[in-house]
Amino acid sequence: MPRILSDADIQRFMTVGHVKVPQAFPAEAALAAQDFLWGKLVERGVDRTDPTTWRKPMEFIAENYNTPPFDACATRRLSAACVDLLGDGRWFAEQDTGWWGWWPINFSVGADKPWDVPCDEWHFDSQDHATFVDSNDQGLLVICLLSEIKPRGGGTLVVDGSHRVVSRFFRDHPGIKQLDGIPKLNGTHPFLRALTCAGEPRDAVPATDSSKSDGGFGGRPVHFPGNETTPRIERFMRQEWSDGEDVMRVSEITGSPGDVFLCHPFMIHSPSFNHSGAPRFMCNRKAPLLEKLQLERADGAYSPLEESIRRALATGATAARVD
């Protein structure tokens, strides 16, 4: 299988936690799949040509599909990119089209409010059962774009570098469930505590003193394409947080139909407001592994996913441990 991701792409995945695969499947296939979903929305009284029928900010379609419009999206390019991160022959759908589902179709969530970095819904994905640092049920978080998503157009917000913290969290809390783990982690890690407004008023903006021992927000500025800013945009998107080992900030997923973001399974992310005026179509797929992650291989043949976790576990043990 041909290699899709460059060395720089793989390093970005291991360091930042996600990498973009432009045109992982053809735009025509993405738009055909979107047409299929519009057909499902018609059954709910939502007419593509009549915005007055777009009554709900979000229409959620829980069904999974394994039909021709989605078969065309399951390209060898997408599969090969997953292999680049997971290893050849190590994941479930490598030779299969798989199922496409989990459709939160964002028409206008938050359109009546100023666009900002939310306090709510920051989470890592995991099954309802116990999760371990070597669990195999997620593999990758595969975010597939079926419509044009511009800045502030409802693209998923991700916390760059958060997979390192979550890797150590799962190591230190083996078997924890998502429902218990998310508030525990978000409420105690300094960056995530501030991001999720845990224990402080929702409009509070704590001081940005970079000399603080728990890491500050006065660090390196980051370009952000918005025309206006808020204290939370400035703090979480325009600046990087660092404790000397981990570096984190919030970034926004944008792209075109057919683009795919391959994300670390432990990456923290959240929905965002859609101010574009156009419905946003995307889905979250998984790339489940055939076996548990192997973090101690005798032959040293680690996948980039395994190596990213090994690097996280080897550093930051004191700063990121949550008790």
Which pLDDT belongs to residue 321? Answer: 41
Q: Give the sheet arrangement for strand 241-242, strand by strand.
A: 241-242, 247-252, 157-160, 269-270
Listing DSSP states for 3-41 in one string gives --S-HHHHHHHHHHSEEEETTSS-HHHHHHHHHHHHHHH
Consecutive 10-residue averages of pLDDT for the chain (323 residues): 93 98 97 97 97 97 90 93 95 70 94 96 85 93 97 98 97 93 92 87 41 38 55 95 95 98 97 97 91 96 98 70 39
Whether the Cβ atoms of residue 170 and residue 176 lie closer than 8 Å to each other: yes
- What's the rounded Cα separation, in Å, for the pair 323 and 92? 34
Listing DSSP states for 32-73 in one string gives HHHHHHHHHHHTTT--TT-GGG--SSEEEEEEEE-SHHHHTT
- What's the rounded Cα separation, in Å, for the pair 76 and 24? 9
Which pLDDT belongs to residue 320? Answer: 39
Which pLDDT belongs to residue 225? Answer: 47
In 63-148, which ranges are continuous DSSP H helix?
68-71, 76-86
Which pLDDT belongs to residue 57? Answer: 98
Can you say how many angstroms the Cα of residue 4 is from the centroid of all Cα atoms in its chain? 20
Which pLDDT belongs to residue 315? Answer: 83
Which residues, 6+ apart, have CB-to-CB distance to 235 below 8 Å? 117, 194, 205, 208, 217
The predicted model scores a pTM of 0.89
In order of their start, the domains of the chain are 7-320 (2.60.120)
